[in-house]
Amino acid sequence: MSAETAARGLETPGGLARPAPRISLFRTLRFRLILSVALVHVCLMGAFTWESVQEQSQSVREQLYNRGVSLSNLMVVASTNAVLAEDLAALAEVTERVHRQPDVRYGEIVDARGQVLASTEPRSIGRPVGAMVAASERFPLPGDDQLLDLREEVTVAGRRVGTVLLGLSTESLDAALRSTRNEGLLFILLALFIGSVAAWGLSLALTRHLHELTRAAGQISAGDFSVRVAPGARDESGVLARAFNAMAVSLERTARRARQEHEKRTEAERLACVGELSASIAHEIRNPLAAIINSVSLLDREDLEREDRGEVVDIINSETRRLQRTLNDFLDFARIREPQLAVVDLCPLVEEVARLVERDPQSQGRVRFRLRFLDGSCRAHIDADQMRQVLWNLMLNAVQAMSGGGEVTVRVECGDGRVQVSVVDAGCGMEEAFVGKVTKPFVTGRRSGTGLGLAIAQRVLMQHGSGLSIVSQPGVGTEVGFELGAVGAE
């Protein structure tokens, strides 16, 4: 992981910027704002319009009623003398004049016996009047009655001499009320439309800032701390934008510091690692080199016996080979290449390596391998060559730990999408403190070991996304294993 990536990893727990989640239309702030404004408008304007329509219809009805009462009073005044004189012509003129008034459906003047003296309907004259209204009607009229019937008595000196009947049509009144109601409804719709448009505009202005902030927050979570949002208006959204910018500045500063710290630490760790490794290499080659130098200076001596000379040459040979092996192992460790992954069944691979180790001179037939494959096929994405080397190192260590010979068990188990490989021996085992460092380079407990076997295995496994797990007990034995992701059977 590069310093940059590592620092970014520290800064951005979320990693890559995720696109803002889609919100369903009904959950959007804009929709809710428009809906609430529309509801408020409908309720308020509805109540207001209903109230004014009621008021208006009341006043229109009142006007019609009052007009009717005035007209019937006028008829009474105009017809009193004519009724007494039974002047039918004068009475006819009165009803004629009344008939010309707007909304008048009928007008009749009836004498004390109930005989129609004059009427807007000529056929009724001279006939007895029909069912006479007992008293003047008032609004609201019952059912779909569209006629306001009024009655006024014609009295002279307290004596009823006749009755005036007047019928006013409410058709024009109903039409006026209908048009008032329609106008009210239109007004509500207009107010609703204007309110919704205003709410939409307001929500646009509000959510525009929110969208901008969401986008900026996404950029920050992707690691771009340089992003800023326009402060905009001097309202709450402006305050929020300024707070966001202040947070971004502070995050940028913290991230910069973290990156610098991380770079410093990485550099220090790198130098420490190089130093540790150089010291280990120097230590590893110092002893054989010293032995070689001493041996070469001994060879220079004239008085060296032929037999001793042969022994010294042997020492030089073995120490040179040891040096070469150390360097080769170290080069193997230093040059571990990227794994070439392929789907490989681990069981045949384990079997192949176990047979090879069994035949190795170090095993000398004293150590036997018992293979336990708990499932027929345990396939994983691995680099077969590198995995062969890992298995070889683990099995050879087990053989070397069992100086008295015996049996080493190698288990391959599959399950839950994992492949588990374990090498179990009943050898000398290791102290707990030693187990903690055996995967470091040049840590060895054997005189002839270079201490790179487990370090190489650990590096290879790390490149496969895994690692060694070691459980050991001195004098009892050791179990070394690792786990890989299994490839499902096709």
Ligand X SMILES: Nc1ncnc2c1ncn2[C@@H]1O[C@H](COP(=O)(O)OP(=O)(O)OP(=O)(O)O)[C@@H](O)[C@H]1O
- If one asks whether residue 162 binds ligand X (CB under 6 A), the answer comes out as no
Q: Which is nearer to ligand X, 150 or 410 (CB)?
A: 410
Distance CA 250, CA 355 (A): 62
With CA atoms as reference, report the closest residue to 326 among 280, 294, 370, 368. 280
- Does 438 participate in binding ligand X (rule CB under 6 A)? yes
Query: Please, which residues have CB within 8 angstroms of residue 417's CB and are 6 or more apart in sequence?
Result: 485, 486, 488
Binding site residues, Mg ion, CB under 5 A: 397, 453
What is the nearest approach in angstroms of ligand X to the Cβ of residue 365? 19
Residue 107 touching ligand X (CB under 6 A): no
CA-wise closest residue to 208 among 241, 243, 246: 241
Q: Which of 216, 255, 452, 468 binds ligand X (CB under 6 A)?
A: 452
Counting contacts by CB under 6 A, is residue 446 touching ligand X? yes
The span from the CA of 277 to the CA of 265, in Å, is 18
- The correct pick among 93, 289, 429, 471 for binding ligand X (CB under 6 A) is 429
- Residues in the interface with ligand X (CB under 6 A) total 24
SS3 content of the chain, % helix, strand, coil (to 5): 55, 15, 25
Q: Which is nearer to ligand X, 57 or 397 (CB)?
A: 397
**Should residue 397 be labelled a site residue for ligand X when binding is judged by CB under 6 A?**
yes
For ligand X, which is the closer residue by CB, 297 or 469? 469
Q: For ligand X, give the closer residue by CB, 116 or 394.
A: 394
Q: Nearer Cβ to ligand X, position 255 or 430?
A: 430
Which of Mg ion, ligand X, none does residue 107 bind to, with CB < 5 to 8 Å depending on kind? none
Residue 401 interacting with ligand X (CB under 6 A): yes
Task: Considering only CA atoms, give the Rg of the chain.
Answer: 55
| Contacted by 316, from ligand X, Mg ion, none: CB < 5 to 8 Å by type | none
Burial of 166 (0-12, 13-18, 19+ CB in 10 A): buried
Q: Which does 78 bind (CB under 5 to 8 A by kind): Mg ion, ligand X, none?
A: none
Binding residues among 301-330 for ligand X as defined by CB under 6 A: 329
d(CA 11, CA 31): 36
Q: Give bridge partners of residue 413 from the DSSP assignment.
A: 420
Question: Which long-range CB contacts under 8 A does 41-46 form with residues at least 24 apart?
Answer: 41/188, 41/191, 41/192, 41/195, 41/196, 42/188, 42/192, 45/187, 45/188, 45/191, 45/192, 46/188
**Residue 448 corresponds to which amino acid?**
S
Please select the residue that binds ligand X; options are 107, 195, 288, 427, rule is CB under 6 A.
Answer: 427
CB of 359 to Mg ion, least distance (A): 18
Contacts of 325 (CB under 8 A, 6+ apart): 450
* Cβ-Cβ contacts under 8 Å for 112 (sequence gap 6 or more): 160, 161, 162
Find out whether 373 and 347 touch, Cβ atoms under 8 Å: yes
Between residues 68 and 451, which has the closer beta carbon with respect to ligand X? 451
Q: Does 478 bind ligand X (CB under 6 A)?
A: yes
Q: How far is the CB of 450 from Mg ion (least distance, A)?
A: 8
The minimum distance between CB 400 and Mg ion, in angstroms, equals 7
Question: With respect to Mg ion, which residue has the nearer C-beta, 237 or 397?
Answer: 397
Name which of 169 and 444 has its Cβ closer to ligand X: 444
Q: Which residues bind ligand X (CB under 6 A)?
A: 329, 393, 397-398, 401, 425, 427-430, 438, 443-446, 449-455, 478, 480
